[in-house]
Structure 1
Amino acid sequence: MAGLDLGNLGAIAAAFVVVASSPGPANLATASVALTQGQRTALIFAAGLSLGLAFWGVLAALGLGAVLRASETALVVLKLAGGTYLLWLAWQTGRSALKGGDVRAPDIPPGRWFLRGVLLNLSNPKAVFAWMAALSVGMGPEQGGAAVLTATLMCAAIGTLNACTWALLFSRPRMMTGYRRLRRGIEAGFSAFFALAGLRLLFWRGAPV
């Protein structure tokens, strides 16, 4: 069985960068945590997101992603979990946006933020399809287990780097200062996005492309 050459790896990496860096719920949640909680907490949240994303990568590499894709019951459960979680995020963010003045950041243990990151990506059924799409770009039936492992580790590293980049970028002092000035409008925007994403997931039919 053949391995992966640089062209194959480059194609997979490019596909996964596009998927991972797009401003979806996970990335915007990281930005929200960074703006409201600061760099350390945002990096902890990003680590949780990375673990949840890596879990889906392992499933895709083992071929279980195709099984999940074919299971209507599993998809319904994941859609309900993911949509409900996003609506909860919308509620929490929207409630904060309605409060006037400065709002003190809630005192939440670091482990809770890590768990929230894990849950956000574990409850996102689109993540496994993103993995399958990226891996399929440069992989063929002739590739063996070592090639799949290499591609999976590379994509997991890209996902981790992306999450940490969002955390570091939005926790910069200028970003946080701007957030404090425009807090209510920014949080209202985040709330609307999470609500739309949650409703879209709940009412989405079939598998995403």
Structure 2
Amino acid sequence: MAVLETLVPILLAFFIVAASPGPANIATATIAMRFGRRRALVFGAGLSVGLAFWGVIAASGLGAVLQGSAQVLFVLKILGGLYLLWLAFQSGRAALKPGEAMPARTAEGRWFVRGLMLNLSNPKAVFAWLTVLSMGLEAGDGRGLLILATLVCVALGFVNYAAHALTFSLPGFMAGYRRCQRWIDGAVAGLFSLAGFGLIRSAFQRGPAA
């Protein structure tokens, strides 16, 4: 019962963070609507591995070290912002050419790498992990409970991305996307641009000189 009481607030907090409409979930939904379930699931698997990486960093104590390293955070935020801007460019190009034929074949590994890079280039993920894990864990709790909480949250992350991939690849969503592709891709491009510029701006606001 004590373990459950510790895990519940952590899982609730993690679910709220993971399921919120951020760049990762938006990208998964868009890929599912445009390219279908399989590619979205592979992309989501990459996202999940990237999310798990930051979870391990946070649980091992390196997250606090990273949080205090202005130089590393500066580089990560710049790279993450540039990657989001690249995604914005891709969505914007799709919006300008809504009738462009979709590629017949794309290596599955490319979709995995794209998802992996999206979450690896997001330093905010480690801050979210640190916040979530600190909500239920106390100094007296053992390493085993920390590992358990991290593993359960990682599993929840997998489920979240898979749910987005499966839901938005349903025929109704895919048909709706084809009808409104220009508007959807344009909106996604705008959201990615805002997120990218915001991340780059935060790097200079809290960069090495700060």
Is residue 68 of structure 2 the alignment partner of residue 104 of structure 1? Answer: no
State the identity as a percent.
52
1:137-162 Cα distance to aligned partner (Å, 9 max, x none): 00011011101110000100111110
Q: Secondary structure at the match of 1:5?
A: helix
Gaps of 5+ in 2: none
The corresponding residue for 1:185 is 183
Specify which of 21, 24, 27 is matched with residue 23 of structure 1.
Answer: 21
The corresponding residue for 1:39 is 37
1:107-163 Cα distance to aligned partner (Å, 9 max, x none): 321000000000000000010011111100000110111011100001001111101
Cα shift at 1:103? 2.2
1:73-132 Cα distance to aligned partner (Å, 9 max, x none): 1101110110000000000110111115x2222332100000000000000001001111
Cα shift at 1:206? 4.1
1:25-58 Cα distance to aligned partner (Å, 9 max, x none): 0000101111111000000000000000000000
Specify which of 4, 8, 31 is matched with residue 10 of structure 1.
Answer: 8
CA RMSD, Structure 1 to Structure 2 (Å): 1.4
The 5 Å alignment of 1:83-122 reads: 83-100=81-98, 102-106=99-103, 107-122=105-120
Gaps of 5+ in 1: none
> TM-score under structure 2 normalisation?
0.94
Specify which of 49, 56, 59 is matched with residue 57 of structure 2.
Answer: 59
Q: Output the CA distance in 1 between the equivalents of 2:6 and 2:198.
A: 33
Q: Secondary structure at the match of 1:133?
A: helix
Q: Output the CA distance in 2 between the equivalents of 1:39 and 1:5.
A: 36
Q: Output the CA distance in 1 between the equivalents of 2:47 and 2:94.
A: 23
Is residue 125 of structure 2 the alignment partner of residue 127 of structure 1? Answer: yes
User: When the two structures are aligned, how many residues end up with a matched partner?
Assistant: 204
The corresponding residue for 2:149 is 151
Cα shift at 1:4? 5.4
Pair 144,72 (structure 1): closer, same or farther in 2 beyond 3 Å: same
Asked whether the 8 Å contact 2:37–2:166 carries over to 1, the reply is yes
1:62-81 Cα distance to aligned partner (Å, 9 max, x none): 00000000000110111011
The 5 Å alignment of 1:155-166 reads: 155-166=153-164
Q: Output the CA distance in 1 between the equivalents of 2:101 and 2:2.
A: 50
